[in-house]
């Protein structure tokens, strides 16, 4: 039997597996391996399996007792990802069932859950548990590793499990607060940066900001001020980093600054946990973060700038003490720090639960409201998700998973609405187009539009534009990309261009990769996003075919495809009002077409959309024009025919 160790992120699973394999003197993929989406690096001899928490959830769908594992270790549990929280509840249930099965043959039982365990304890657990675990249905051991200060909550949730404390390795970081609250934190950050630069010993600065726009404007300000520095003062090198930045530019943060130059990194939360930048001695923390918020009543998700939690503030300051002692400047008062929340609200309480509820139903948990969550989402959020799934036909009138629709939907690694769209498209003869659409919808925007080259970027996008809307435009991008990749690779698939296992043709592959990359650059396309979309497309195609369904293209019959979009996304339909604004038909709220849409300024009568983002206004994005009469025709259970057959006045 194996040991599973989960991580919230893919890179973490790979790097920890690699490190452990190295220390054990084995090759990664043998005794020690990892498993993440699109990449399974394990073998029959694998005993320690590092994986993303989402991957273990997927495995649990196929093997609800996790019978291949004797021990599951949940690492970084304090991050409380949505996957971690669902795993908690599931694993408690699995423990109970396996315990019951094993106590039928054995009488004495040890406590199974432990919080915060050192590696050597872990090894003890492994060795001592070997013999009894050879038996089928033996008890499942569970270790939860968390950097949280409040272990009580974890121990209570895991039935009074014992806590083991491990000293972390970290250099001291001196914390400074402001004496009075700052009226303008950006101005304060600017001043603090130069104060450090002029008064402190060498070492790079990490400044946390809330988003791309803030980073871009701070970059301009810092560069402008730095150009006025006296020539006697060391130079200041400003480097931005955020997730949407193309990877070539992201790499700049890892290059050491030239001698006599101090690097200042302007980062979003990406530098808090996802990546570690060497050379940081100073951290500037304005104490704010842009976080996802969810209003279960309206079902609208939004991004809002909110104060960080104490745990986040500590995580940020820790970034100054990874290689040597450092300093952290918090741009708020100590009193304000004391008033911050202890920890960030778990993700499961801040987002749409449609997917979580669908997965739970697929596990056979019919009473989702009674599920043993460590932090329970609000009742209304769960009920909203149940209604959503019911509208999509995933649930029966009794609230059970419908078959085959619901069971098939749960198998797709997609949002429920996209999963349903795939199923509908197979019946409507345009599954190839829908496959491209859901793949493109599942990744960050592939259009890269830097502010200084906006016009050029828009011109590039015009080459792909469809007058019908964004979905077909995105299909065009994907089609062109795959064509380009095929021409470049002469048979090599677009997705494989980068990662070939054989070395004999690696030069050939390098050439292919280079050509594709320059095509992306020339067309202002984010290569990372598009590569991901191609990977997803391949994976979903496999799932569809695995269900015995066929992928067929409607060719140029985009009318059929748009009808299919209407049939799939009827819950996200909007109609133009007399005053030119739009009304979302399901919620009744007033929305506007986002300026990034190809339909912006086109005034279509009726549209379906995939995303509603709330900023100053509520904007809909990724939109296709449809005929309002299609809605009652294709979704009669949702739209009464008479409600929509009055033409819109224009």
Partner DNA sequence: GAGCACTGC
CB of 598 to DNA, least distance (A): 10
Q: How far is CA 346 from CA 13, 57, 60, 157, 374, in A?
A: 21, 18, 22, 15, 10
CB of 58 to DNA, least distance (A): 4
Burial of 317 (0-12, 13-18, 19+ CB in 10 A): buried
The single residue among 166, 369, 380, 454 that binds DNA, judged by CB under 7 A, is: 454
The single residue among 46, 81, 312, 610 that binds DNA, judged by CB under 7 A, is: 81
Distance, CA of 285 to CA of 292 (rounded, Å) = 20
Q: Which is nearer to DNA, 15 or 151 (CB)?
A: 15
Q: Which is nearer to DNA, 158 or 418 (CB)?
A: 418
Do residues 176 and 313 touch, judged by C-beta distance below 8 A?
no
Q: Which is nearer to DNA, 381 or 428 (CB)?
A: 381
Angle in degrees, 0-180, between the axes of helices 416-428 and 354-362, rounded to the nearest 10: 70
Contact between 440 and DNA by CB under 7 A: the answer reads no
Contact between 15 and DNA by CB under 7 A: the answer reads no
Tokens of 296: 């279960």
Contact between 52 and DNA by CB under 7 A: the answer reads yes
The DSSP code sequence of 15-32 is HHHHHHHHHHT--BTTTE
Tokens of 142: 């569970």
The single residue among 541, 600, 633, 635 that binds DNA, judged by CB under 7 A, is: 600
Q: Which is nearer to DNA, 2 or 244 (CB)?
A: 244
Q: How many CB atoms are closer than 10 A to CB 433?
A: 28
3-state helix, strand, coil in the chain (%, to 5): 45, 20, 40
CB of 616 to DNA, least distance (A): 4
CB of 245 to DNA, least distance (A): 8
Stretch that binds DNA, among 100-108, 148-156, 287-295, 312-320 (CB under 7 A): 287-295
CB of 271 to DNA, least distance (A): 9
Ramachandran angles phi, psi of 484, nearest 5°: -60, -45
The single residue among 451, 453, 463, 514 that binds DNA, judged by CB under 7 A, is: 451
Q: Which is nearer to DNA, 9 or 310 (CB)?
A: 9
Contact between 480 and DNA by CB under 7 A: the answer reads no
Contact between 37 and DNA by CB under 7 A: the answer reads yes
Contact between 291 and DNA by CB under 7 A: the answer reads yes
Q: What is the 3-state secondary structure (H, E, C) of 94-151?
A: HHHHHHHHHHCCCCCCCCCEEECCCHHHHHHHHHHCHHHHCCCCCCCEEEECCCCCCH
CB of 214 to DNA, least distance (A): 8
The single residue among 88, 242, 282, 630 that binds DNA, judged by CB under 7 A, is: 242
Contact between 63 and DNA by CB under 7 A: the answer reads no
Do residues 412 and 418 touch, judged by C-beta distance below 8 A?
yes
Q: How many CB atoms are closer than 10 A to CB 336?
A: 15
CB of 558 to DNA, least distance (A): 24
Helical H segments across 207-353, by residue range: 212-226, 247-250, 310-318, 334-339
Put the strands of the sheet holding 204-208 in their side by side order: 173-176, 326-330, 280-285, 204-208, 261-267, 235-241
The single residue among 8, 287, 406, 469 that binds DNA, judged by CB under 7 A, is: 8
Tokens of 331: 């741009």
The single residue among 243, 380, 467, 522 that binds DNA, judged by CB under 7 A, is: 243
Which residues here bind DNA, judged by CB under 7 A?
Answer: 8-11, 36-37, 52, 54-55, 57-58, 81-83, 210-213, 242-244, 268-270, 274, 289-292, 303, 355, 413-415, 442, 444-445, 449, 451, 454, 458, 594-596, 600, 613, 615-617, 619, 621
């Amino acid at each position: 039997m194996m040991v599973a160790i989960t991580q919230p992120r893919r890179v973490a699973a790979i790097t920890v597996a690699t490190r452990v394999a190295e220390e054990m003197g084995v090759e990664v993929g043998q005794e020690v391996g990892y498993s993440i989406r699109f990449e399974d690096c394990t073998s029959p001899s694998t005993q320690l399996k590092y994986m993303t928490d989402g991957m273990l959830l997927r495995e649990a769908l196929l093997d609800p007792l996790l019978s291949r594992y004797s021990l599951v270790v949940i690492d970084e549990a304090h991050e409380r990802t949505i996957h971690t929280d669902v795993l908690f509840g599931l694993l408690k249930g699995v423990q109970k069932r396996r315990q019951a099965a094993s106590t039928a043959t054995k009488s004495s039982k040890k406590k199974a859950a432990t919080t915060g365990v050192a590696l050597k304890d872990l090894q003890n657990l492994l060795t001592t548990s070997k013999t009894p675990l050879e038996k089928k249905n033996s008890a499942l051991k569970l270790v939860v590793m968390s950097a949280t200060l409040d272990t009580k909550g974890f121990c209570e949730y895991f039935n009074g499990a014992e806590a083991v404390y491990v000293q972390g390795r970290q250099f001291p970081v001196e914390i400074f607060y402001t004496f009075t609250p700052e009226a303008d934190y950006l101005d304060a950050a600017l001043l603090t940066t130069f104060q450090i630069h002029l008064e402190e010993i060498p070492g790079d600065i990490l400044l946390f900001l809330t988003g791309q726009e803030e980073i871009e404007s701070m970059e301009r300000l810092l560069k402008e001020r730095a150009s006025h520095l006296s020539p006697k003062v060391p130079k200041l090198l400003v480097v931005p980093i955020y997730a949407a930045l193309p990877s070539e530019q992201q790499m700049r943060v890892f290059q050491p600054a030239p001698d006599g130059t101090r690097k200042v990194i302007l980062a979003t939360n990406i530098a808090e946990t996802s990546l570690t930048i060497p050379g940081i001695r100073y951290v500037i923390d304005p104490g704010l973060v842009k976080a996802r918020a969810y209003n279960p009543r309206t079902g609208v998700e939004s991004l809002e700038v909110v104060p960080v939690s104490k745990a986040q503030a500590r995580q940020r300051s820790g970034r100054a003490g990874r290689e040597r002692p450092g300093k952290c400047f918090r741009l708020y008062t100590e009193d304000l720090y004391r008033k911050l929340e202890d920890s960030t609200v778990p993700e499961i309480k801040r987002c749409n639960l449609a997917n979580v509820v669908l997965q739970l139903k697929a596990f056979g948990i019919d009473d989702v409201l009674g599920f043993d969550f460590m932090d329970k989402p609000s009742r209304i959020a769960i009920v909203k998700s149940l209604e959503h799934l019911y509208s999509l036909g995933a649930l029966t009138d009794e609230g059970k998973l419908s078959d085959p629709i619901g069971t098939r939907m749960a198998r797709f690694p997609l949002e429920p609405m996209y999963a349903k769209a795939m199923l509908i498209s197979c019946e409507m003869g345009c599954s190839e187009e829908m496959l491209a659409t859901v793949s493109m919808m599942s990744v960050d925007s592939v259009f890269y539009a830097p502010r200084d080259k906006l016009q050029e970027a828009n011109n590039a996008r015009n080459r792909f534009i469809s007058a019908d809307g964004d979905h077909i435009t995105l299909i065009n991008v994907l089609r062109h990309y795959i064509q380009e990749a095929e021409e470049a690779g002469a048979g090599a698939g677009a997705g494989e261009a980068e990662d070939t296992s054989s070395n004999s043709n690696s030069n050939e592959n390098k050439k292919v990769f280079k050509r594709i990359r320059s095509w992306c650059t020339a067309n202002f396309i984010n290569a990372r996003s598009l590569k991901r979309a191609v990977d997803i497309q391949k994976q979903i195609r496999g799932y569809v075919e695995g269900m015995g369904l066929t992928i067929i293209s409607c060719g140029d019959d985009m009318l059929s495809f748009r009808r299919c979009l209407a049939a799939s996304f009827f819950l996200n339909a909007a109609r133009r009002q007399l005053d030119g604004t739009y009304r979302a038909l399901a919620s009744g709220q007033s929305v506007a077409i986002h300026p990034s849409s190809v339909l912006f300024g086109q005034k279509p009568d009726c549209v379906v959309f995939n995303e509603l983002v709330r900023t100053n206004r509520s904007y809909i994005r990724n939109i296709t024009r449809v005929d309002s009469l299609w809605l009652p025709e294709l979704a009669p259970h949702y739209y009464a025919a008479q409600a929509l057959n009055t033409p819109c006045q224009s």
